[in-house]
Amino acid sequence: MNDARRQLIEYIRSDAVFRGEFTLTSGRKSNYYVDLRKVSLDHRVAPLIGEVMLDLVSDIPDVAAVGGMTMGADPIAAAVLHRGVARGVNYDAFVVRKEPKDHGRGRQVEGPDVAGKRVIVVEDTSTTGGSPLAAIAALERVGAVVAAVAVVVDRDTGAREAIESAGYPYRAALGLNDLGLAT
């Protein structure tokens, strides 16, 4: 295991895993919650996320941009963009709104134009795959080509299966075993 991955796991385990009774975005109940924003917006951890995610997707050719549904994907995409520049890899970032704006240009996908470009949908923590699939639908409406979905933490609760059955490659940087959460 490389040092960035090891450090990322330590930060998530100590600062972003909460125990108790939680209702997830999917509506499912859980006895733990991985609040990745506690670390993805931390100056010590964001670069680690960028490193680990770059390693995860480095073999996917001709990718122009990374991003996903706002809010969870935003810091992940920014971390990848910034660490990519440090490595000499030029990924733009994009943000997908839940709904198109009702003013201005009325866009749902914000950032550099992704029409006709290969993109990777990123997510912080994935449970059902619903957020990445919603992002994919919006991206395809504007002509983007989705090369893969890449998540920081996979809860192993069906996201991989949902995304792969929709025809998209799925990659996860960390799983429940990595975080000491496997049952």
47-174 has which CATH code? 3.40.50.2020
DSSP character for 108? S
Nearest to 121 by CA among 48, 85, 68, 58: 68
Confidence of residue 175 (pLDDT cuts 50, 70, 90): very high
Predicted confidence at residue 121, as pLDDT, reads 98
The yes-or-no verdict on residue 96 having pLDDT over 70 is: yes
Average pLDDT of the chain is 94
CB atoms within 10 A of CB 65: 23
174: which residues sit within 8 A by CB, 6+ positions away?
5, 8, 9, 12, 52, 152, 153, 154
What is the model's pLDDT at position 102?
63
Write the DSSP symbol of residue 71: T
CA distance 112 to 127: 28
The answer to whether the CB of 50 falls within 8 A of the CB of 80 is: yes
Rounded to two decimals, what is the model's pTM? 0.94
Gap between the Cα atoms of 86 and 177, Å rounded: 30
pLDDT tens string 130-174? 999 999 999 999 999 999 999 999 999 899 999 999 999 999 999
Each residue of 27-73: pLDDT tens digit?
888 899 999 999 999 999 999 999 999 999 999 999 999 999 999 99
Q: Is the pLDDT of residue 106 over 70?
A: no
Closest CA to 73 of 38, 36, 124: 124
pLDDT tens string 14-27:
999 999 999 987 78
